[in-house]
Amino acid sequence: MTALTLSTAAATGLRADAVVVGVAKGAQGPVVAPGAEAVDKAFDGNLASVLETLGASGAEGEVTKLPAPSGFKAPVVLAVGLGGEPEKDEIFDADTLRRAAGAAARALAGAKKAAFALPIADAEDAGAIAEGVLLGAYSFDAYKEVASSGKNAKGPLAEAALLGGKPRDKAYKAEIERALALGEELNRARDLINTPPNDLNPESFAAVATAAAKEHGLKVQVLDVKALEKGGYGGILGVGAGSAAGPRLVKIAYSAGRGKKHLAFVGKGITYDSGGISLKPAGHNETMKCDMAGAAAVFAAVVTAARLKLDVNVTGWLALAENMPSGSATRPGDVLRMYSGKTVEVLNTDAEGRLVLADAIAKASEEKPDAIVDVATLTGAMVLALGSRTFGIMANDDAFRASIHEVAEESGEPSWPMPLPTHLRKGMDSPTADIANMGERMGGGLVAGLFLQEFVGEGITWAHLDIAGPAFNEGAPFGYTPKGGTGSAVRTLVRLAERTAAGDLG
């Protein structure tokens, strides 16, 4: 993990491998952003024109390296694009800074130290830049020969000094500490998502959660197959029935004390999804190690809440199973008796996430939390609706849905409120059971939300985040987002917990 420091040193005098500056896209060409005044002065005020000569425009995420002028203790200046220049009297928003810092940190892989001279107007800006550095520097190399041998390996940026920060200021120090906790746990979630399914199954995931709980003083309970059978968790057991690796339900809880608000986060944790008997075709199963991204997000959020000592109780429920075909697997047409007592006719074994979530949501409801938020890579329909970078939000309370949308946007995670049209519920009527696990094909993401709503305890506020699009980036890295597991929804859940602790939400 990249080390972070706040520094009041001048960019020209700090020993580093590179100095990072921001450049915006102005009407007449690139414009040097605040924070880089000393660097621009060293170029005799011509840094923008030099960058333009090199082809830089200030477009978001654009990275341009150039030799530092004489007198610098760093050999390289790295200019990173911030996008459009703000209007007069306005400043760059936090996520613009976060994305720019991430792009720069990734471009500096292998460097020992970099000085970031990006615009910092307040402590929140420093926190955003720190967060961007930590997330952008991430790489997953555990299975590569260069990582194990150390030969020709380009590790992440080792240290980042944030210039313009205030090392003695409590607000600045708090933002850096928050960024470190959040960055470390979000990157651990990415590691889990990227781990191959032959090394991450329900049992090993539960072991990771148990170890983290011990490290951070959290309460943890793991229900194995025998305990799930005794408890009547038909959904989780039904999904895991075809695998040699048995399912688990993990409860991991952070307690701030009695009388505090209580949030329950529920995560879908399908460590590999073959589709089961309703087998996925080739081209659709190669990245299905990521189908546990919801559980990874919930796990990371609970541990982060504990590390930040938030004044709110947070319980995470990780519904873990591997969905495989075999002679013991659940078949289309089977009926499962869920933990809640409802029966579900399984029409498609590839609609398995809603089955494990239903049991976990019903169990979480017994504790009467102030709100339940489930997170899942649930439907391809949501990807078709919102694309690969935006998750959908559904809820049984419009105000809560709006609050989560606001929190997500504030955290830098694109999201969009989605409806739960009641007329789609009829499509899940079953002649055999209380409900089927499939309904109308059109609006499939909304149908899945309606199914989950059936298992929420009476009077409990609930929201569902379908992160199927942004959970796993199959394209090129961008901003602070790497290729592979992204850690989608972690920052939204943490921010929701922070705002709940502050009394901003109910």
Residues labelled catalytic: 280, 354
**Crossing angle, helix 490-501 and helix 293-307, to 10 degrees?**
40
Q: Do 97 and 128 form a contact (C-beta atoms < 8 A)?
A: yes
Half-sphere exposure of 63 (CA within 13 A, CB side): 17
Enter the DSSP assignment of 422.
G
Single-letter amino acid, residue 483: K
Q: Distance (Å, rounded) from C-alpha 372 to C-alpha 360?
A: 11
Contacts of 373 (CB under 8 A, 6+ apart): 263, 264, 265, 266, 404, 462, 463, 464, 465, 493, 496
Which residue's structure tokens are 């917990």? Answer: 497
Q: Do 268 and 322 form a contact (C-beta atoms < 8 A)?
A: no
Signed CA dihedral, 399, 401, 406, 407: sign only: positive
> How many angstroms separate the Cα of 283 from the Cα of each of 100, 190, 274?
33, 22, 11
Single-letter amino acid, residue 45: G
H helix intervals, 108-200: 123-136, 145-149, 170-194
Tokens of 423: 């007329």
Name all contacts of 140-145 with Cβ < 8 Å and 24+ positions apart: 140/190, 140/191, 140/194, 140/482, 140/484, 140/485, 142/191, 142/195, 143/196
Q: What angle do CA 181, 185, 187 make, to 5 degrees?
A: 120
Residue 416 β-bridge partners: 392
Q: Distance (Å, rounded) from C-alpha 427 to C-alpha 440?
A: 6
DSSP 238-300: HHHTT-SS--EEEEEEE---TTS-EEEEEEEEEEEE--TTSPPPTTSSTTGGGGGHHHHHHHH
Our CA dihedral for 246, 247, 249, 252, rounded to 10 degrees, sits at: 70
